[in-house]
Amino acid sequence: MDKSIQHAFNASDRSYLSFLKREIHQLAVQTGFSGQRLAEIDLIIAELTSNLIKHAGGGEILVRPLGETTFHGIELISIDNGPGMSNPARMMEDGISTTNTLGHGLGSIRRLSDFFDLYTLPNWGTIVVCRIHLPNFRAPQANPTRIGSLLLPKAGEKVCGDGFAVKYVARTLHVFLADGLGHGPEADAATQLAIKTFQASSSQDPVLILREIHQAVLKTRGLVGTVGILDPLAGNWKLCGIGNITSRLSGPNLLDLPKTFMSYNGILGGNLPRTMNEQVAPYQRGQTLIMASDGLRSRWETSRLVAIRQHDPAVLAAALYKDFSRKTDDASVLIVQTP
């Protein structure tokens, strides 16, 4: 699971593009790219930024290295609020252009990427996600449960006070999303200690896990957070949260209203309710759990995002950021899609 923070670059001003390309090039070098593959990343960035300027009047590029203990690639996400595309498949054909150019942009990006996904709606905008791996990378066996994330620090900060963790314990999937109070290094320290405690816990009870985290972070600034446990054999989800993490579970039927899990008032490392109970929801194939910090406006929703759950979960995370980010705090989104 890739937990690196994303770096956000504004691609709305042509005078800024050379700096943007230089910074992303350097990040790719630090990730381990060189030679032809590095040149191909430079080309992908050039095409993405060119598309943003020409077709959408600008936008944003999110970049992060892929990997945990060692990096194995880089992820690039292009986001815009432009006119969108009515026929994206045709726009990816070479020679097709709406601005009298050669029309090689999207096709080139797709060919040069190891993973490529595009989501667009007319009068809404476009999101492009591409991942490029180091030449010696061997992908692990795919897990049928898909997990996506977005983790962005507040503008000007080098660390993110939000964080998340995902682990498998026997037959169950455990997820945790945390938001350290405030932002900056002290918020990050509280969140990282909470994640370490979550990872070490052997409990199958989200309430007990939160109490373990509470005890561990008493000497920190504190945080809010939600723990979720999926047990397919038992046929249920169990969630418990403290503070303003918003968690919603959508069923496979797009007409079903999502279930919102209510969190308790309090602060992990500060004050907890004496009595807390987990909330239980039935498990179904094809569900989507979305957890988001208050870096997104609390009234976020996905009803207008037609067919977006057919795409990589990183696309959905980016779409929520695009439409609902406050841009005044750290922001995080964690998405779990069951097979």
Lowest-confidence range among 7-16, 100-109, 131-140?
A: 100-109
- pLDDT at residue 103, as a whole number: 40
How confident is residue 14, by pLDDT bands cut at 50, 70 and 90?
confident
Res. 122: pLDDT tops 70: yes
Q: Model confidence over 233-247: pLDDT tens digits?
A: 999 999 999 999 999
Lowest-confidence range among 92-101, 149-158, 259-268?
A: 92-101
| Residue in the block written with tokens 């595309």 | 85
**Cα distance between residue 214 and residue 222, in whole Å:** 8
Phi, psi values for residue 248, rounded to 5°: -135, 140
Q: Model confidence over 294-316: pLDDT tens digits?
A: 999 989 999 999 999 999 999 99
Cβ(333)–Cβ(149) below 8 Å: yes
Kindly state the DSSP code that residue 309 receives in the 8-state scheme: G
**Cα distance between residue 337 and residue 315, in whole Å:** 12
Q: Where are the beta strands (DSSP E) in the chain?
A: 7-10, 60-67, 71-80, 115-121, 125-133, 146-152, 162-169, 172-180, 223-231, 236-242, 246-250, 259-261, 279-282, 288-292, 331-337
Q: Model confidence over 245-299: pLDDT tens digits?
A: 999 999 987 667 899 999 999 999 999 999 999 999 999 999 999 999 999 998 9
Residues 6+ apart with CB under 8 A from 21: 42, 45, 46, 49
Position 85: which residue type? M
Q: Model confidence over 73-95: pLDDT tens digits?
A: 999 999 999 999 988 777 776 65
What sign does the dihedral 295-301-306-312 (CA atoms) show? positive
**Cα distance between residue 222 and residue 161, in whole Å:** 11
Q: In this structure, what token pair is assigned to residue 334? A: 């964690």
Q: What is the pTM of this model?
A: 0.93
**CATH class held by domain 7-133:** alpha beta
Q: How many CB atoms lie within 10 A of CB 297?
A: 13
Res. 114: pLDDT tops 70: yes
Residues 6+ apart with CB under 8 A from 339: 144, 145, 146, 285, 286
Res. 104: pLDDT tops 90: no
Residue range 219-229: mean pLDDT, rounded: 98
Phi, psi values for residue 35, rounded to 5°: 60, -140
Per-domain boundaries in the chain:
7-133, 146-337
| Residue in the block written with tokens 């504190």 | 222
**CATH class held by domain 146-337:** alpha beta
